[in-house]
Every structure is written in structure tokens, then in C-alpha cells.
Structure 1
Amino acid sequence: MKNLQLILTKPCLQQWSDIEQPDGKHHCGKCEKNIVDLTTKSDTELLDFFKHKSDNVCGRLLASQMNRDLLLLPPAKIGWQWLMPLALAALAISPAEAQKTKPAVTQTEGQHKDANETKPSWASLPTLPITIKGTVVDQTNGKALASVKVRRMGEEDALAITDSLGRFELNLVDGDTLSKFIINLPGYSPIETYLNDNMVIKLIAEKRIMLGGISTISLNRSPLYLIRAGNKSCTIAASKLGELSPDWIESIEVLKDAKDTAVYGAKGANGVILIEIKKAYRKNIRFSK
């Protein structure tokens, strides 16, 4: 059989966990094919699989299984050149010594049988280091994102952080590629994904609503407290009302009508309490610019 190499020409972007069916199989709706898990196959088993396949298949592979010649392990055989020395040696042994000697042929046949029954596994191969490179961008505008942390799921420490061009690089081993990684940047929704070399990860920005500048909309039912001193006014938190001396207050007005509260927008939806400060004490109020 000619040398065979597995080369990734059209990587699939589907996540392995997303295409798992209730029966345990993995079916890709994009290419309308069942995906075969080949990550546990040895070189000999991979050669046998592709030799007998009848149609194009989609498979899941380790990085160490690709871009190299697959090695075919030769079957264990007893050469005829060994039979003659064994036969001659048997003739040279006396009957008394033969009773003490264990039959070599039986032991050899047992070893030959075990060699045929034992199938090599990829786990018996030496662990190969691999380098995974990728880029993280904004899904909306494609802009490269810096300072994005890449960490393995279940761990706190970041294994890589993107540079100013959104690039990251990880030095892993084959087993690590079967783990999920978390891609996280404040202001963006984190992503859980498996890593492939040269992949582009797109983060989605968290949605925020801004009304008339930087504002915070409370979800409680408290009214809006507003302090007014002449032509100046500002809001005050309910927890700060105790700092106002009753002697400073000239009047308190409660606005409930929709027409009156509409001018204050969503912040005044639960009503507005307008506190007028006496002219003599207006200098005690510091209004923020």
C-alpha cells in the first residue's frame, strides 16, 4: 500500500458537542454527513479504515495524526530461516534434558498469537507537543481584539492573552485539543469552544442602552429625588437625604402626573420629589458640573 497522509483542506467549523445526537452519534447538518471519531485509531487502523471506505467521509482527528506518513506495523511472523536452527537444537538435546526443557515452539506460538490479537493504540505513542495559533475579532466590525484571555475550562489562570492584533499562541499536547477553552474579554459575551490551529474566534459585544449620556436606570420602585436651588438643580440618592438639614428646605413638591414626570425620562417613571432649598442655604449645596 502506498504511503498515506491525512491533510486538513476544508476544516469544519461545527462544534463537536453541538452535533451530538441522542443516540451518541455525531451528525453535521451543514454537510449532511455522520462524523466519524478517529482520534483513538492507530496508524494501522487508520490505513485499514481508508483502504476499505466506499465513500467520502468526515472525521475527527488529532493534530498528531495529520501531515505525516501513517506507519503500517508489519505482522509478527516466524521466518523459515529460524525453523532449521530450532530443529537442529532439538536433536542435540538428550531425552533426559528434553524432559526438563519447556517446549520452545509452544511458547513462540503463544507470543505470536498475542502479537496478532493486540492492537496498537494512539495512547501508546509518545505525546507530541503542538502549537495552536488563532485570532480574536469583534463579530460586528471584524476589528481585532486585544487583551482577550484564553483559558482551559475549569481553570482560572489564562494560558494566553491576545496582542494588539488580536493574535494568540498556545503550546499544547494532543490531549489538550480535546478540552474546551473559554475565550473572555470584559464587555463581550464569553465563548466556550474547542481550539484548532489558525482559527478565527468572533466575540459578540454585550448590548447596552444609553439614554442622553451615561445614565443608570434602576429597576426598583423608588421615585427620583431632585434638589433645586434657584436656577440650578441636581439629583440626590435617597440614602443621602438624611444629610439635608430641615432648616435648609423651603418646600417639597411631589410630581406624579405623566406630563410633569415626562421631562425627566425613564428616571422619573416612578414619580419625582422636588426639594427647593432656601436662598440663604444655597451655598451649602455643591452642584456637580
Structure 2
Amino acid sequence: MATSFKITIDAPCTQQWAGMQEHKDGRFCTSCQKSVVDFTQFSDFELKNWLAKDQGKSCGRFRPAQLNRVIDSKSNFSMAGFKPGLVAASLIALLSFPKPTQAIKVKSYPVSQGDYSNKSVKSLVHERAETALVTIKGTVIDKGENTPIIGASIKVNGLPTGVVTDNEGKFEIVLDRNKFKKSVVLDLSYIGYQSQYVKINLFKKDKIVIRLKAGNYILGGLGIIKQPTMFEKISKFLNG
């Protein structure tokens, strides 16, 4: 296959992905009796490798951003298995979003003069430091399939840093209660899903479960448009 190419779907399928039977590499469409491969988490490099073997004969599920654009597949970064288990993207997100504890400064508190032992002083400071922090724990799942989302980005409005969900879709954020008195707004995002803002009450201890809705996907038989190489462009120009 050419280094650069485009993927098109001229006649999108009207069947619902959620209503299809689970099948190897995706789902099985009983309407057209074909396997539908889930390409939504494929990298450009993986798309090229798959389509080179398949010769564009597959039916697929794509993100709109994957279609009708020139795909240059020189990169060999892999995103296979991103849902439910993409470790690579989690690592990238971790590098992009430092741990929030780096932005938190625990204030020191003055201790009244008196006959305190070292142990008592340390206990008092530790207790006050603990009460100055608040921890938010929760889980991010797919709204339609109720499966954990791994590597989802979670940022707190007002802070430049954030965290990502682990391999169970769980996250934990530690904040300075002096900066966030009653509530915070979480900004959640994940590739292939609609971004979402969630307001969290810091005084409630309820279990936090956030459901992200998948973005708009396109299903159907795909076509491959080969992009001419530089040599082919020059040859065509010279030969008129």
C-alpha cells in the first residue's frame, strides 16, 4: 500500500453498533452478514498494516477524523487495544499531565508555646495538614457498554495539571481544601468520546461514577484512495 492514502465510506451503514453481535475484532452485522472491524482506536500505522493485508475489503467503524484525510503512516506508534486496555496512551497522558500533588503546597501551621513533646507536635501538625487536603476518587466508564475507560484525562478547572484513569477506569485527585472550599469542576476527555464537565461536591462522600458518551462513529464498507508519491507527481507533471 502507498505510504499515504485516504479512507472513504461512500454509503454509511444505518445499523446500530450497539445492536450488533460481538465478534472478533469488532461486531457482526446480521443485516449484511459481514464482520465490522472497530478501527476507532487504530493508529495510522496500524490502519496501513491492516488494510495492506485486507485490501480494503472490510466493513469498519471509524471516527470522523479518520476519514477523508491524507494518512501518512510513517509513525509506528501503536494504539491497538486502547479500549479496554491501551497502556501506551495512558503513558502518553501521564507524561502530559503531571500528578496534581506537584501543584499542591501543604501549609505549615504555627504551634502554640507550651510543654509539648516532639511526638505531640508532630501529631498536631500532621492532623492539621491532613484536614487541609481533600481527595476525590471515582471511576470513568463507557455510557453505552458500562466498561471502564482506561487513560481518560481528568483535569480540575483552575489547575494546570491533571490525572488519567488506571486499568480499571479509576482515578484519584488530591486537592488543597483552602483553594477549593465547596466544589470543583472536572474536565474529562478521551479520544473517541464526547468531552464532559462534571461538578463535584467536596462534602459528599458518595461513590463517583462518570459515564462518557461515545462520539459519532461512521460504519460501512470502506474504500481506499491511494495518494501519489512525489516521484509519481513529478512523472505526471513531466509527461503532461
TM class by shorter chain equals 0.3 to 0.5
Normalising to structure 2: TM-score of the pair? 0.33
| Structure with greater Cα Rg | 1
- Which structure is higher in helix share? 1
- Which structure is higher in strand share? 2
- Greater RCO (CA < 8 Å, at least 6 residues apart): 2
Normalising to structure 1: TM-score of the pair? 0.28
